[in-house]
Chain A
């Protein structure tokens, strides 16, 4: 019971730290950290989305860069060609990404692991190819497009610090939504499908419907992250939306651990920390990154957070056992 009392303190402390982080970074002369956090936020949203699809519903996707691209390009193009205010374009583009996700998910939902991953790779390649060779060059093709920063109620989020708070708020909202979803009837249906689609079907769950739903929701998350990316960097080009990016999402998700709220956060933050830490190795950076990745996978094949959770679970069980025997 004592822990329950302590808990809000930890929560409040975490909130305080997150809110004060930009100031802390500035105080120690490391403003750059603010930008890294901005990127980390959008990756957390994207990877959380992917986790809904894979971690909860068991559908792999190696082509989520496509939805990232639809969110980013959708928002930029709507703003550029129809002059819709940016925050609305982000929402429309995100919905668009979800819609495309649903369309793709419908035929893809019957595919299993290897086949689904190849199908999503193919989808990603098709979208990438379209970005590079769009009809009439509406996407700017190889050159890409420039865009503006988000304007929220007359307040421009052009500085990294202001974007940080926007990103923080968005991340909180998206994570909260994820938490609500996975703890609802829908979430339980997803988990049932992940564990055994046939049994789930037998229990009266409409497997296709829920699979499509999971895919669309995950496309929604990734699409929004893409829109955030576009207005953070204020330039988008096809180079960002390759297979590499999809692999990055999957890596972050698996690095942290799947099927949880915190796993993707841990994964994204860790991968970001590693890449920042390895910058000094220049051309060997990716070599070391690969080696590190391999070591972590072999040592912790459930993701960092996943393994921690298992460990904590074991410890807790022991503790509980102790309590019981004492009682």
Chain B
């Protein structure tokens, strides 16, 4: 039983991690907060369903299409809402409120477009489940784990070693100084919002076959992902995944051994403990001061 719980907690944690990566990336590259991740996940699941099931595209193509669409969505969101607000140099909270408004729009637009019916995302792999150390794990779950680690490594590499990533970090630290050095800060934040949205949508399309596709799919996962990002060390890519996995493990272990009734409560209490005792998270990421 323990092994089973550990494996599924790990799978769940990787999903949280994928979402957490988006939060961390946006924070790292622009110091902003975004509440819309969970709903982009839902959007991703519906887009994936449309491309794969309705339009009959091959899986890899629908995956790319979904991620690209979400990337463009994120880019537009930054360009037409966030950027506009940043230019007016408003209180940061108004940007949060804007993402909340987008959340309302997204949730209800998805409902209006795809109806309230729960949709079935057909299986992707010919083998439904794989045996890991004697535990049956859905193939899509394995794929999910692989993808979240690929994303983590890719992002860390991108942020640390590419010119563009360095530019993004510089833009977040001091936008004016970065601009003076010839960095296009507008583009770099835009790209980071796009990537964050793309990753959330990726999580969505990966979760489709596991959980089915319905309008409230991402609502809770989005919030848990945020928690994961902070526990790992806000702004740190390794931290996002590790924090996500930690949260996933804690949740499943609590549900399995302590009390499923108080599962969420214990998870949030742990988060509070982290925030109060060690706000820099596991990876000791220095928070950007406001």
Q: How far is the CA of A31 from the CA of B39 in the complex (A)?
A: 39
Q: How far is the CA of A47 from the CA of B109 in the complex (A)?
A: 29
Chain B min CB distance to A15 (Å): 33
In chain A, what residue has the closest Cβ to B272?
A: A122
- Looking at B93, B102, B234, which has the most chain A CB atoms within 10 Å of its CB? B93
Chain B min CB distance to A154 (Å): 42
Chain A min CB distance to B231 (Å): 10
- Whether B194 sits at the interface, judged by CB under 8 Å, is no
Flag if A125 contacts B105 (CB, 8 Å): no
Interface string of A39-72 (1 = CB under 8 A from B): 0000000000000001000001000000000000
Q: With A118-B230, A122-B227 known to touch, is A297 a contact of B85 (CB < 8 Å)?
A: yes
User: What class of interface size applies to chain A in its complex with B?
Assistant: 35 or more
Flag if A298 contacts B33 (CB, 8 Å): no
Q: With A126-B265, A301-B85 known to touch, is A294 a contact of B275 (CB < 8 Å)?
A: no
Question: Which residues, 210 to 249 on A, are CB-close (under 8 Å) to B?
Answer: 243, 247
**B234 — which chain A residues lie within 8 A by C-beta?**
114-115
Chain B min CB distance to A29 (Å): 32
**A60 — which chain B residues lie within 8 A by C-beta?**
93
Q: With A129-B262, A294-B81, A298-B85 known to touch, is A113 a contact of B104 (CB < 8 Å)?
A: no
**A297 — which chain B residues lie within 8 A by C-beta?**
85, 94, 97-98, 101
Flag if A298 contacts B102 (CB, 8 Å): no
Flag if A113 contacts B90 (CB, 8 Å): no
Flag if B272 contacts A126 (CB, 8 Å): yes
Flag if A117 contacts B290 (CB, 8 Å): no
- Whether B133 sits at the interface, judged by CB under 8 Å, is no
- Whether B271 sits at the interface, judged by CB under 8 Å, is yes
Q: With A113-B290, A117-B33, A297-B101 known to touch, is A258 a contact of B91 (CB < 8 Å)?
A: yes
Stretch at the interface among A167-175, A285-293, A319-327: A285-293
Flag if B102 contacts A290 (CB, 8 Å): yes
Task: State the majority secondary structure of interface residues on B.
Answer: helix
| Residue in contact with A287 in the complex, picked from B108, B262, B275, B276, CB distance below 8 Å | B108
- Looking at B97, B102, B112, B269, which has the most chain A CB atoms within 10 Å of its CB? B97
Question: Which residues, 176 to 206 on B, are CB-close (under 8 Å) to A?
Answer: none
- Whether A133 sits at the interface, judged by CB under 8 Å, is yes
Question: Which residues, 271 to 308 on A, are CB-close (under 8 Å) to B?
Answer: 283-284, 286-287, 289-291, 293-294, 297-298, 301-302
Chain A min CB distance to B262 (Å): 7
- Whether A108 sits at the interface, judged by CB under 8 Å, is yes
Interface string of B189-232 (1 = CB under 8 A from A): 00000000000000000000000000000000001001100100
Task: State the majority secondary structure of interface residues on A.
Answer: helix
In chain B, what residue has the closest Cβ to A243?
A: B223
Interface string of A109-136 (1 = CB under 8 A from B): 0011111011101110110011001000
In chain A, what residue has the closest Cβ to B27?
A: A114
- Whether B287 sits at the interface, judged by CB under 8 Å, is yes
| Total B residues in contact with A, Cβ cutoff 8 Å | 44
Q: How far is the CA of A287 from the CA of B106 in the complex (A)?
A: 8
**B100 — which chain A residues lie within 8 A by C-beta?**
247, 250-251, 293
**A114 — which chain B residues lie within 8 A by C-beta?**
27, 33, 230, 234, 287
Q: How far is the CA of A121 from the CA of B220 in the complex (A)?
A: 12
Flag if A115 contacts B275 (CB, 8 Å): yes
**B93 — which chain A residues lie within 8 A by C-beta?**
54, 60, 113, 250, 254
- Whether B149 sits at the interface, judged by CB under 8 Å, is no
- Whether A107 sits at the interface, judged by CB under 8 Å, is yes
Flag if A298 contacts B81 (CB, 8 Å): yes
Q: How far is the CA of A92 from the CA of B289 in the complex (A)?
A: 39
Flag if B275 contacts A111 (CB, 8 Å): yes
Interface string of A57-89 (1 = CB under 8 A from B): 000100000000000000000000000000000
- Whether B96 sits at the interface, judged by CB under 8 Å, is yes
- Whether B88 sits at the interface, judged by CB under 8 Å, is yes
Q: How far is the CA of A302 from the CA of B261 in the complex (A)?
A: 41
**A294 — which chain B residues lie within 8 A by C-beta?**
81, 98, 101-102, 105
- Looking at A107, A115, A133, A297, which has the most chain B CB atoms within 10 Å of its CB? A297
Q: How far is the CA of A291 from the CA of B80 in the complex (A)?
A: 13
Q: How far is the CA of A133 from the CA of B261 in the complex (A)?
A: 7
Interface string of A122-155 (1 = CB under 8 A from B): 1101100110010000000000000000000000
Q: With A115-B234, A125-B268 known to touch, is A287 a contact of B97 (CB < 8 Å)?
A: no
- Looking at B84, B107, B108, B230, which has the most chain A CB atoms within 10 Å of its CB? B108
**A115 — which chain B residues lie within 8 A by C-beta?**
230, 234, 275, 279, 287
* Interface residues in chain A, defined as those with a beta carbon under 8 Å from any beta carbon in chain B: 54, 60, 107-108, 111-115, 117-119, 121-123, 125-126, 129-130, 133, 243, 247, 250-251, 254, 258, 283-284, 286-287, 289-291, 293-294, 297-298, 301-302
The 8 A-B pairs with the shortest beta carbon distances in the complex, nearest first, are A290-B104, A287-B108, A301-B90, A290-B105, A294-B101, A293-B101, A129-B265, A122-B268
Q: Please, could you name 20 A-B residue pairs with CB atoms under 8 Å apart, sorted by A?
A: A108-B275, A112-B287, A113-B33, A113-B92, A114-B287, A115-B287, A117-B96, A118-B226, A119-B271, A119-B272, A125-B264, A129-B268, A247-B100, A250-B100, A284-B108, A286-B104, A287-B105, A297-B94, A297-B98, A302-B91
* Interface residues in chain B, defined as those with a beta carbon under 8 Å from any beta carbon in chain A: 27, 33, 81, 84-85, 88, 90-94, 96-98, 100-105, 107-109, 111-112, 223, 226-227, 230, 234, 261-262, 264-265, 268-269, 271-272, 275-276, 279, 287, 289-290
